[in-house]
C-alpha cells in the first residue's frame, strides 16, 4: 500500500524540478449551495497529511461558495511530466495565526492589492482599481500592512486522490486512493 501524501510529494518534487512556470498552480473547483460549479487557478501554499492550503479573499466567489458548500476538488496538471493529480475533499479555514504568518511573507504590493481588491465583484474601470491601490499605499505608508479581516486561507482535506499517468495509445494509468476511516484504500480505474 502506498501513502497518497508520500506519492504526491514524490510527483510534486519532480514537477518543481521540471515545470518552468508555477508547478504549485492548481485548478480549484467549488460549487454554490445549488450545486452550480465554478473552477479557477490558485496556488498551493502548503501541503501535508493535514491537507492542501491556498489563500484568498473570503468574500470572493470561491470564498462564498466554500462558505455555502465546504467541499472542493483540486487538479494539478504537469504537462512536461505527462501526469496529473486530482484531489477531492472537505474544506475548512486555516487559523488566523496561520493566515497572518503567510500574509506577512507576501510582497508589500501583494499585501496592498489584497486591501484594494473587492475580489470577484464588478469593477467599473481599471482606473478605479488603480486609484484604490494608490489609496492603500497612502493609508499604509508608515509601517506594516496588516492582513485584512476578510482575507485568509483554506485547507482541502482529501478523501480521494487520483494519480494519472500518460501511457501510449491512451492506455493511461489511473491510481485511486479513497479514505476509509484513518487509512486509505488503493485501487485502479480504467483509463
Q: 124 with 154, same domain?
A: no
Q: 164 with 142, same domain?
A: no
Q: 163 with 136, same domain?
A: no
| pLDDT at residue 1 greater than cutoff 80 | no
Query: Using one digit for the tens of pLDDT, what is the confidence trace for 59-90?
Result: 999 999 999 999 999 999 999 999 999 999 99
Q: 85 with 140, same domain?
A: no
Number of domains into which the chain is organized: 2
| CATH number of domain containing 35 | 2.30.110.10
Q: 170 with 97, same domain?
A: yes
Q: 133 with 159, same domain?
A: no
* Domain assignment of residue 93, given as a range: 4-104+149-189
Q: How far is C-alpha 14 from the chain's CA centre?
A: 19
Query: Using one digit for the tens of pLDDT, what is the confidence trace for 97-109?
Result: 999 999 999 999 9
Q: 70 with 154, same domain?
A: yes
Q: 128 with 54, same domain?
A: no
Mean pLDDT of all residues in 130-146: 95
Q: 80 with 125, same domain?
A: no
Q: 119 with 153, same domain?
A: no
Write out the catalytic residue numbers. Answer: 170
Instruction: Give the pLDDT confidence score for residue 2 in this predicted structure.
Output: 81
Q: 19 with 86, same domain?
A: yes
User: 3-state DSSP call for residue 13?
Assistant: helix
Q: 68 with 133, same domain?
A: no
Three cell numbers, residue 135: 489609496
Across the chain, the runs of DSSP E, i.e. the strands, are 25-31, 37-43, 46-48, 51-57, 71-78, 83-93, 151-165, 173-180, 183-189
Name the average pLDDT for the chain. Answer: 95
Beta bridge pairs of residue 91: 156
pTM above 0.85, yes or no: yes
Query: Using one digit for the tens of pLDDT, what is the confidence trace for 5-46?
Result: 999 999 999 999 998 889 999 999 999 999 999 999 999 999
| pLDDT at residue 185 greater than cutoff 70 | yes
Amino acid at each position: 500500500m502506498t501513502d497518497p501524501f508520500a506519492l504526491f510529494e514524490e510527483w510534486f518534487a519532480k514537477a518543481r524540478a521540471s515545470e518552468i512556470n508555477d508547478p504549485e498552480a492548481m485548478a480549484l473547483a467549488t460549487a454554490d449551495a445549488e450545486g452550480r460549479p465554478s473552477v479557477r487557478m490558485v496556488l498551493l501554499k502548503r501541503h501535508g497529511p493535514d491537507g492542501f492550503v491556498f489563500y484568498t479573499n473570503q468574500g470572493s466567489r470561491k470564498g462564498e461558495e466554500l462558505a455555502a458548500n465546504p467541499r472542493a476538488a483540486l487538479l494539478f496538471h504537469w504537462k512536461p511530466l505527462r501526469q496529473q493529480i486530482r484531489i477531492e475533499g472537505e474544506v475548512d479555514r486555516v487559523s488566523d495565526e496561520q493566515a497572518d504568518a503567510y500574509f506577512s511573507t507576501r510582497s508589500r504590493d501583494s499585501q496592498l492589492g489584497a486591501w484594494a481588491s473587492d475580489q470577484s465583484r464588478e469593477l467599473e474601470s481599471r482606473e478605479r482599481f488603480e486609484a484604490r491601490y494608490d489609496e492603500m499605499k497612502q493609508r499604509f505608508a508608515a509601517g506594516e500592512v496588516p492582513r485584512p479581516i476578510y482575507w485568509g486561507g483554506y485547507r482541502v482535506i482529501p478523501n480521494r486522490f487520483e494519480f494519472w499517468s500518460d501511457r501510449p495509445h491512451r492506455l493511461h494509468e489511473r491510481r485511486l486512493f479513497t479514505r476509509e476511516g484513518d487509512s486509505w484504500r488503493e485501487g485502479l480505474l480504467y483509463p
